[in-house]
Chains A and B, each alone.
Chain A
Amino acid sequence: MGAGGEESSFSLCVFVWEVAVPEYSPLTFRVPEPPVRPGGEPDFSKFDVPKAGTVRRPEVDSDPDDMKDLATSLIRVLNRNAEAVGPWAGDIDTDLLLHGLRSMMRTRSFDERMMTLQRQGKTSFYMKCTGEEAIAVGQQLALLPGDMNFPTYRQQGLLICQDYPIVDMICQILSNERDPLHGRQLPVLYSAREYGFFTISGNLGTQYIHAVGWAMASAIKGDTKIATGWIGDGSTAENDFHAALVNASVYQPPVVLNIVNNQWAISSYQGIAGGDLATFAERALGYGIPSLRVDGNDFIAVHQVSKWAIERARRNLGPTLIEWVTYRVAPHSTSDDPSKYRPREESAAWPLGDPILRLKNHLIQRGLWSEERHKQAEAEFDEEMRLTAKEAERYGVMGEGASDRDIFEDVYKDMPPHLSKQRQELGV
């Protein structure tokens, strides 16, 4: 430095780096909004509905790498004329179809009656599954005894199609003296081990990883039973969704992972769960899990795709994820008013229609059912539910008859001293 002696030997080397700072406009924050709000015209123009029968059906032992297209398409079987068409139509026993239709109808009648009970003040709370009946019923009828469902609160069809005693369901909803859960649980959070129906939790998404763990256990023991996990579109955002998928990916247990995309999580449309930039089915692809996207209002598609995934699981070919595309017709719960956040007419405009109507029309078209029989069945199921509700009410309504001693039982297998003491304190 300063070798020439001309520069000051103490000159500070300051680099003034002339950077051309590009001009950026201010950032904007994205908050997804549904296409329409109350007062607007329902708009499903961006919802792509491929024709029934156009999506291919791979062999169950196909490489997951070769099925990626199925996560973005939409498997449909029943066409506009109510005919079952395409590679997924297969052949379903007509008794099963009739049982499926009746079970969906009974589920709807049940929901209506329970809504009435809630409005009459006989129970505190209820949740309908109107419009989603095909999914639970269609899949359950593809399962075998001993398989275990890990349901959410909107799969009552799993029980109803197995002829689980309706009176017990209602007693649970009424929290009365015959409530199988002794008045401890909020209405609709059923538990029915003998019917392959895992105890429902109020905490969302938790049971998805339980299904995977249960399936891992079945594989560890060399069993042939499989598990099914259930989750809604909104709850896929929960951490346990990832926990389930990563474990299902790693251990390849026999599990069918269902996502019921009914477009709504209470008031949040599915875009708030990240559903507007990718399908929910696509989530599985990053885990190497085969994934199918299916018309959830098409009973035959539901049943056939379920059978396919169940077969994969049972043949030790690993997990499958299925996104069932449907629409939550009913309010989220009896505490909800959807007209505050979505157009009243939106459910009527839903392009995939109504699952009961679609199967009904298919069966009529095949000469297996008629308008008259349908009306008769409707009346019969409404009456069944009315009478069964009456029967259940005899055991008490709104918590009548639930024993106070039961507060302290089953916290542990054996009651520890501090609980015995507290029970004495309550004087029971």
Chain B
Amino acid sequence: MAQMSMIEAIRSAMDVMLGRDENVVVFGEDVGYFGGVFRCTAGLQEKYGPTRVFDSPINESGIVGAGIGMAAYGLRPCVEVQFADYIYPAYDQIVSEAARLRYRSAGQFTASMTIRSPCGGGIFGGQTHSQSPEALFTHVSGLKTIVPSTPYDAKGLLISAIEDDDPVVFLEPKRLYNGPFDGHPDRPAQSWAGHPQGDVPEDHYTVPIGKARLVRDGFDATIVTYGTMCFVAEAAVSETGIDAEIIDLRTLLPLDIDTIANSVRKTGRCMILHEATRTSGFGAELSAQIQEECFYNLEAPIVRVTGWDTPYPHAQEWQYFPGPERVGRELTNLMEAAS
């Protein structure tokens, strides 16, 4: 075991896979020599050489498109898009090609590739360094979408993603890169050192795709969330004293609906919490499925706490980001609400 930040855990996952499987290649903008703008690939080019880990032109469609071609050949590319906010030029390649390759060729060609991209806000990233576009990928059949929230899960899930034979969109909450963040920007930054989930095995291990993680056992309500919001939820629970169960989805698609439904059946109340904008966000899908599965167990309407339906602002960061105060208030309301 070693203490790792999420950055180190992600780097370690690629290191392990580059060492284990010679078909794994890693590339993207500034990923090679420099080691990535977030240091997630630092040292990998030096260790594995520029034919395994290399810099790419600034062309997201080209990064993903070339990766698809490589996967069709038989490699396992793990490519990076520098910010999830810049993944849109690659959207055609992801949706029309990577996601559909297996289906349209009846399995003759597959896109065993991972598309890593830092996502999420809480860093004064403004409109184009803060977005959470996961719903654009969960809506696409053929893709798997993952959002880890801890170094341990980040490494185990990234190894699973690289080994997976289906294309995986792997969204990394950059706010969690260096330490957990509970939505209190006024308090000193925390680091992963000393955090139980910062204990990460140095060698190969996996965390299964499609399985949620129970962050906190509780009886009064269920908070279904992922990414940075897991820590915000914990803070809100401790500040309100409401005994809520917190579920970290980890994988958004395929969704672990059983874990969610079992929890909501037990608690009878459910809050869905994400950074992404509300309308047609992933929370809408969660709400619909929970309603279908747990209708007769619900004691109150399902509540969604999300980013507002606006572009991500700069100056108003903490009025936009669903912090512990807003979450706590909504949680209190949820406890008082009756169906």
Contact = CB atoms under 8 A, between A and B. Distances in A.
A199 B110 CA distance: 10
A201 B109 contact: no
B25 A220 contact: yes
A191 to B, nearest CB: 4
Given A201-B96, A246-B62, A412-B166, A210 B106 contact: no
A210 B61 contact: no
B65 A209 contact: yes
Interface residues of A, number: 47
Interface stretch (A87-95, A182-190, A268-276): A182-190
A227 B69 contact: yes
Contacts of B52: 220
B104 A184 contact: yes
Contact of A217 (B61, B69, B92, B103): B69
Interface string B72-112: 11110000000000000100110011001111111111100
Contacts of A6: none
B70 A418 contact: no
B316 interface: no
A247 interface: yes
B142 A213 contact: no
A199 B69 CA distance: 11
A398 B256 CA distance: 38
A218 B89 CA distance: 26
A227 B92 CA distance: 22
Given A184-B103, A210-B65, A213-B69, A247 B109 contact: no
Contacts of A215: 69
A24 to B, nearest CB: 37
A185 B108 CA distance: 13
A410 B93 CA distance: 18
Contacts of A213: 65-70, 72-73
B57 interface: yes
B158 interface: no
Contacts, number: 142
Contact of B72 (A185, A214, A410): A214
Nearest to A203: B96
B104 A210 contact: no
Given A191-B109, A246-B57, A410-B107, A199 B101 contact: yes
B258 to A, nearest CB: 8
Nearest to B62: A243
Interface string B156-190: 00000000111000000000000000000000000
B141 interface: yes
A220 to B, nearest CB: 5
Contacts of B56: 247, 250
Contact of A209 (B62, B144, B253): B62
B33 to A, nearest CB: 14
A177 to B, nearest CB: 13
A416 interface: yes
A201 B72 CA distance: 14
B66 A212 contact: yes
Nearest to A182: B106
Contact of A210 (B68, B105, B255): B68
B74 A217 contact: yes
Contacts of A217: 25, 69-70, 73-75
Contacts of A216: 66, 69-70
A414 to B, nearest CB: 9
B254 interface: yes
A230 interface: no
Interface in A142-197: 148, 150, 180-182, 184-185, 189, 191-193
A191 B106 CA distance: 9
A218 B73 CA distance: 8
A137 interface: no
Max chain A Cβ within 10 angstroms of own Cβ: one of B65, B69, B70: B69
A206 interface: yes
Nearest to A200: B104
Contacts of A410: 102-103, 106-107
Interface in A209-243: 209-221, 227, 239-240, 242-243
B43 interface: no
Max chain B Cβ within 10 angstroms of own Cβ: one of A185, A212, A243: A243
A300 to B, nearest CB: 31
Given A247-B59, A412-B166, 20 more contacts: A182-B106, A199-B104, A206-B65, A206-B92, A206-B93, A210-B68, A213-B69, A214-B69, A216-B69, A217-B75, A220-B70, A221-B73, A227-B69, A240-B93, A243-B66, A247-B56, A410-B102, A410-B107, A413-B164, A417-B254
Interface of B: 25, 51-52, 56-57, 59, 61-62, 65-70, 72-75, 89, 92-93, 96-97, 100-110, 141-142, 144, 164-166, 210, 253-255, 257
23 contacts: A148-B72, A148-B73, A181-B106, A193-B108, A199-B105, A199-B109, A206-B92, A209-B61, A209-B69, A210-B65, A212-B69, A214-B69, A217-B25, A217-B75, A243-B66, A244-B62, A247-B59, A247-B66, A410-B102, A410-B103, A410-B106, A416-B254, A417-B254
